[in-house]
C-alpha cells in the first residue's frame, strides 16, 4: 500500500480550546459540563453502538454505559486525545466485548432503524431502490467481521482519522489501514448488484 | 504500476492520502485500464454509500437517563448495590455467611457456660431449710400452686439472682457447669424449672426484703412455661413419681426460647444484679474436707446464712451469709485452716456470697 500523507481527516486533531475548557470543568466535577458532554456526543456514541450491535435497545445500553464510565473515569482522561476519541474508545470496547461475550439479549437487529439513506421527496421508484439499497448496505455492514466493522464505522460513518481509530482501538496504524481497506472491498463485493 | 498495485491504493486514494507522485501514477494507470477504472468507480461509490448513511440519533430522553444514572445515589442505595449486586452471585454467598456465623454463634454460646448462664434466668437459692423446698415438691394429684403463693416471703429478685452465681461460680475445670449440674441432679426436671422457681425460691437470706418479692415475682411467673413444676433445691430430692408425667419435659432449647421471652426489664435487672454481686472466692486449707464442711455448714447456719453442699466431685462450697456476719465467718474459718481470700466483700447490705474451695 502507498505511503499516507497527512491529510484532512487522517491525522488526529488537537483538542480545541472549548474542549480543553470542557475537560477542565469535567475534572472539576461540574455537573453542567457532564451534561454538555452527553448532549454533544450522544448521537455519535449511540450511532457507533447501533451500527456495531444492530439493536437500538442494546445500543442505548452501551451508549449510556459509555457515558457513565466516562463520568467515573474522568480522572484517567489524559487530555491529549480528543474527548470524542476517548468516548469512541470506550464505546468501541464495550461493543466488541459485548459481541465477543455471546451473552447478547437482543439478537435481532432493528433493520429499519439501522441505516437510512437520504432520499429526495417525490421519487417513489428511487425511494424504493434506496430502501432496498439501504437494507443491502445494512446487511453488508452487519456481515463484516467485527474487527473490520468497527474500523469502517469509525472511519466512514463517524469520520474519525486513522490515528484516532488506532488510538481508540489500540491498534497499529498499518492494521487500521489494512482492516479498513479489506472492509471496503468486502462491502463493494456485497453491493455489486447496486453498482454500475 | 500494476492493476493489483492500483487496487491496493483505492482506500488511500479515496481518503486523499496519496502523495502527489503516487496520485499521478494512479491516474495514469486508470486512464489506460478500463477494468481498473470500473473497479475504482465501484469502490468509490461503495465508500460514498457508507459515508452517505444518515447519522443515527440517540432516543428521546437519553440525556436525562444518563444524567439520572450518573447522579450519585444515596448512601443506602449504594450500600445495597454493593451488598447485593449482582444478586445471583452475592445473595447465596451472603446467605451462606449468615448461616455460618449463626452456627458459630450458637456453638460458642453453647460451649461458654458464662454466656449461657448470663442469658439464662436466675437459678434457685440454695436451701438450708428443707421446709420450703418440700412445700414446692409437686404431687401427681394436686398441681402445684403458683410458686409465688407457695413462698410468699420470696427474696428480692436482686438477691435471688445473686444466688445464681452459686451455680455459675465454679469454673468448668473444677466443676461441671451449672446447666450440667442441674441436669444431673434433676434428670427429669427441665431447666425451665429453674426459672419457675424464681418466685418461689427456697429460704431467702435473712437480709431479704419483702417488697421486692411482690413486685418481681409476678414478672417471673409470667415467663413460666407449660412444663412440669418440681425443681428441688440441692439436698432435697423430690421423688421422680411426684413429677407430673402428662406434660413432656421441654427441651433445653425450648427452655432457652421461653427464657428469651422474659420481660426485658426483668432480664436486665437479673444481669445487672448478677454482675454487681460477683461471688467472693476463697481457699481454705483443711486436713479433713468432710469434717471441715460439716463445721462450716453449721457455722454458716449459726450466722444466719445458708450454704449449698458441694457436689461429690467438687471442692467448692457456696456460702451466703449476712454482710454483718462476714467478719465472724472469716474468723471462724481461719480457725479451721489456712484461709486465703481473693478480695474483701463490697460494703453493701446485700448478703455475702462466698465460694469456698476446700483444699
Supply the ipTM of this predicted assembly: 0.83
Distance between CA B9 and CA B22 in Å, rounded?
Answer: 9
Handedness of CA B146, B152, B156, B162 (dihedral sign): negative
Distance between CA B6 and CA B131 in Å, rounded?
Answer: 121
pLDDT at A148: 96
Task: Let me know: does A158 contact A148? Beta carbons within 8 Å.
Answer: no
Count of beta carbons in the 10 Å neighbourhood of residue A130: 19
SS3 for chain A, per residue?
CCCCCCCCCCCCCCCCHHHHHHHHHHHCCCHHHHHHHHHHHHHHHHHHHHHHHCCHHHHHHHHHHHHHHHHHCHHHCCCCCCHHHHHHHHHHHHHHHHHHHCCCCCCCCCHHHHCCCCCCCCCHHHHHHHHHHHHHHHHHHHHCCHHHHHHHHHHHHCCCCHHHHHHHHCCCHHHHHHHHHHHHHHHHHHCHHHCC
Q: How many degrees, rounded to 5, is the angle at CA A167 between CA A63 and CA A97?
A: 45
In the structure, what pLDDT confidence band is assigned to residue B86 with cuts at 50, 70 and 90? confident
Nearest residue to B143 (alpha-carbon basis) of B228, B225, B233, B221: B228
In the structure, what pLDDT confidence band is assigned to residue A39 with cuts at 50, 70 and 90? very high
Give the CA distances from residue B178 to residues A8, B110, B124, B281, in Å, rounded to whole numbers and listed in that order: 91, 12, 11, 17
pLDDT at B230: 41
**B 69-108: CB under 8 A from A:** 69-70
Which residue of A156, A166, A194 is the best one to mutate when testing the B interface, meaning the one whose CB has the most B CBs within 10 A? A156
Identity of the highest mean pLDDT range in A15-19, A40-44, B106-110, B130-134: A40-44
Which whole number is the average pLDDT over B240-262? 47
Which whole number is the average pLDDT over B127-145? 46
Question: Does residue B64 register a pLDDT over 80?
Answer: yes
Are residues B19 and A3, on separate chains, in Cβ contact within 8 Å?
yes
In the structure, what pLDDT confidence band is assigned to residue B206 with cuts at 50, 70 and 90? very low
Which whole number is the average pLDDT over B56-71? 91
Which residues in B lie closer than 8 A to residue A137 (C-beta atoms)? Answer: 49-50, 53
Distance between CA B124 and CA B301 in Å, rounded?
Answer: 18
Are residues A9 and B16, on separate chains, in Cβ contact within 8 Å?
yes
Are residues B55 and A43, on separate chains, in Cβ contact within 8 Å?
yes
Return the bridge partners of B321, or none: B352
Identify the weakest region by mean pLDDT among B46-50, B68-72, B218-222, B350-354. B218-222
Query: Measured between CA atoms, how close is A93 to chain B, in angstroms?
Result: 19
Identify the weakest region by mean pLDDT among B43-52, B96-105, B115-124, B264-273. B264-273
Which residues in A lie closer than 8 A to residue B46 (C-beta atoms)? Answer: 184, 187-188, 191, 195
DSSP letter assigned to residue B324:
G
Which residues in B lie closer than 8 A to residue A68 (C-beta atoms)? Answer: 66, 69-70
Within an 8 Å CB–CB cutoff, is residue B18 touching chain A?
yes
Are residues B10 and A10, on separate chains, in Cβ contact within 8 Å?
no
Q: Which residue of B has its CA nearest to A195?
A: B42
Task: Tell me which residue has cell 465467718.
Answer: B329
pLDDT in tens, A104-148: 655 555 554 455 555 555 566 677 777 888 889 989 999 999 999
Query: Measured between CA atoms, how close is B115 to chain A, in angstroms?
Result: 49
Which residues in B lie closer than 8 A to residue A5 (C-beta atoms)? Answer: 17-19
b/e string for B38-62 if b means 16 or more Cβ within 10 A? ebbebbbbbbebbebbeebebeeeb
Bigger pLDDT: B199 vs B91: B91
pLDDT at A105: 55
Bigger pLDDT: B202 vs B264: B264
Distance between CA A22 and CA A77 in Å, rounded?
Answer: 12
Identify the weakest region by mean pLDDT among B17-26, B68-77, B341-350. B341-350
Nearest residue to B123 (alpha-carbon basis) of B165, B152, B155, B154: B165
Question: Does residue B9 register a pLDDT over 70?
Answer: yes
Are residues B11 and A181, on separate chains, in Cβ contact within 8 Å?
yes
Which whole number is the average pLDDT over B210-235? 42
Task: Let me know: does B305 contact B338? Beta carbons within 8 Å.
Answer: no
Question: Does residue B263 register a pLDDT over 80?
Answer: no
In the structure, what pLDDT confidence band is assigned to residue A166 with cuts at 50, 70 and 90? very high
Question: Does residue A81 register a pLDDT over 80?
Answer: no
pTM of the shown model: 0.48
pLDDT in tens, B174-185: 444 444 444 444
Which residues in A lie closer than 8 A to residue B56 (C-beta atoms)? Answer: 43, 46-47, 50-51, 59, 113
Per cent of chain A over pLDDT 90 is 53
Within an 8 Å CB–CB cutoff, is residue B67 touching chain A?
yes
Please give the grid coordinates belonging to residue B14.
Answer: 479515496
pLDDT in tens, A49-72: 999 999 999 999 999 999 999 998
In the structure, what pLDDT confidence band is assigned to residue B335 with cuts at 50, 70 and 90? confident
Are residues A35 and B8, on separate chains, in Cβ contact within 8 Å?
no
Mean residue pLDDT across chain B: 68
Distance between CA B58 and CA B40 in Å, rounded?
Answer: 35
Question: Does residue B167 register a pLDDT over 70?
Answer: no
Radius of gyration, CA atoms only, chain A: 18
pLDDT in tens, A22-36: 888 888 888 889 999
Question: Does residue B65 register a pLDDT over 90?
Answer: yes
Amino acid at each position: 500500500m502507498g505511503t499516507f500523507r497527512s491529510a484532512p481527516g487522517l491525522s488526529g486533531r488537537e483538542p480545541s480550546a472549548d474542549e480543553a475548557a470542557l475537560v477542565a470543568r469535567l475534572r472539576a466535577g461540574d455537573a453542567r459540563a457532564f451534561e454538555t458532554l452527553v448532549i454533544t456526543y450522544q448521537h455519535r456514541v449511540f450511532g457507533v453502538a447501533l451500527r456495531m450491535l444492530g439493536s437500538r435497545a442494546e445500543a442505548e445500553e452501551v451508549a449510556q454505559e459509555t457515558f457513565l464510565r466516562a463520568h467515573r473515569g474522568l480522572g484517567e482522561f489524559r487530555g491529549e486525545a480528543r474527548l470524542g476519541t476517548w468516548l469512541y474508545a470506550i464505546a468501541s470496547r464495550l461493543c466488541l466485548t459485548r459481541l465477543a461475550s455471546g451473552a447478547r439479549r437482543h439478537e435481532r437487529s432493528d433493520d429499519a432503524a439501522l441505516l437510512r439513506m437520504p432520499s429526495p421527496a417525490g421519487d417513489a421508484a428511487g425511494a424504493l431502490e434506496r430502501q432496498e439499497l439501504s437494507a443491502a448496505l445494512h446487511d453488508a455492514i452487519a456481515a463484516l467481521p467485527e474487527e473490520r466493522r468497527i474500523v469502517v464505522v469509525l472511519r466512514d460513518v463517524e469520520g474519525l482519522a486513522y490515528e484516532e481509530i488506532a488510538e481508540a482501538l489500540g491498534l497499529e496504524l498499518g492494521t487500521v489501514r489494512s482492516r479498513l481497506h479489506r472492509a471496503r472491498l468486502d462491502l463493494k463485493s456485497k453491493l455489486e448488484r447496486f453498482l454500475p | 504500476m500494476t492493476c493489483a498495485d492500483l487496487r491496493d491504493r483505492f482506500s488511500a486514494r479515496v481518503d486523499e492520502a496519496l502523495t502527489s507522485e503516487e496520485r499521478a501514477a494512479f491516474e495514469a494507470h486508470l486512464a489506460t485500464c478500463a477494468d481498473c477504472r470500473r473497479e475504482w468507480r465501484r469502490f468509490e461509490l461503495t465508500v460514498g454509500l457508507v459515508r452517505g448513511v444518515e447519522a443515527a440519533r440517540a432516543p428521546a430522553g437519553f440525556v436525562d437517563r444518563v444524567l439520572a444514572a450518573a447522579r450519585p445515589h444515596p448512601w443506602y442505595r449504594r450500600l445495597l448495590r454493593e451488598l447485593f449486586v449482582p444478586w445471583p452471585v452475592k445473595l447465596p454467598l451472603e446467605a451462606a455467611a449468615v448461616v455460618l456465623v449463626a452456627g458459630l454463634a450458637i456453638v460458642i454460646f453453647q460451649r461458654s457456660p458464662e454466656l449461657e448462664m448470663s442469658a439464662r434466668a436466675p437459678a434457685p437459692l440454695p436451701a438450708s431449710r428443707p421446709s420450703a423446698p418440700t412445700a414446692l415438691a409437686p404431687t401427681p394429684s394436686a398441681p402445684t400452686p403458683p410458686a409465688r403463693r407457695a413462698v410468699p416471703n420470696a427474696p428480692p429478685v436482686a438477691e435471688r439472682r445473686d444466688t445464681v452465681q452459686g451455680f455459675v461460680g465454679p469454673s468448668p475445670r473444677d466443676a461441671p457447669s451449672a446447666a450440667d449440674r442441674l441436669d444431673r441432679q434433676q434428670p427429669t426436671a427441665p431447666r425451665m424449672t429453674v426459672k419457675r422457681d424464681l418466685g418461689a425460691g427456697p429460704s431467702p437470706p435473712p437480709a431479704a426484703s419483702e417488697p421486692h418479692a411482690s413486685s418481681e415475682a409476678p414478672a417471673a411467673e409470667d415467663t413460666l412455661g407449660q412444663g412440669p413444676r418440681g425443681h428441688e433445691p440441692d439436698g432435697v430430692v423430690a421423688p421422680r413419681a411426684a413429677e407430673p408425667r402428662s406434660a413432656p419435659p421441654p427441651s433445653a432449647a425450648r427452655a432457652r426460647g421461653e427464657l428469651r421471652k422474659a420481660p426485658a426489664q426483668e432480664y436486665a435487672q437479673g444481669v445487672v444484679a448478677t454482675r454487681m454481686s460477683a461471688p467472693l472466692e476463697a481457699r481454705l486449707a483443711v486436713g479433713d474436707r468432710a469434717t471441715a464442711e460439716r463445721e462450716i455448714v453449721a457455722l454458716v447456719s449459726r450466722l444466719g446464712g445458708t450454704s449449698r453442699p458441694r457436689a461429690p466431685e467438687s471442692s467448692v462450697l457456696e456460702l451466703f451469709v449476712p454482710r454483718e456476719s462476714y467478719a465472724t465467718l472469716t474468723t471462724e474459718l481461719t480457725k479451721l485452716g489456712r484461709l486465703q481470700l481473693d478480695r474483701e466483700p463490697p460494703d453493701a447490705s446485700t448478703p455475702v456470697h462466698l465460694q469456698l474451695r476446700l483444699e
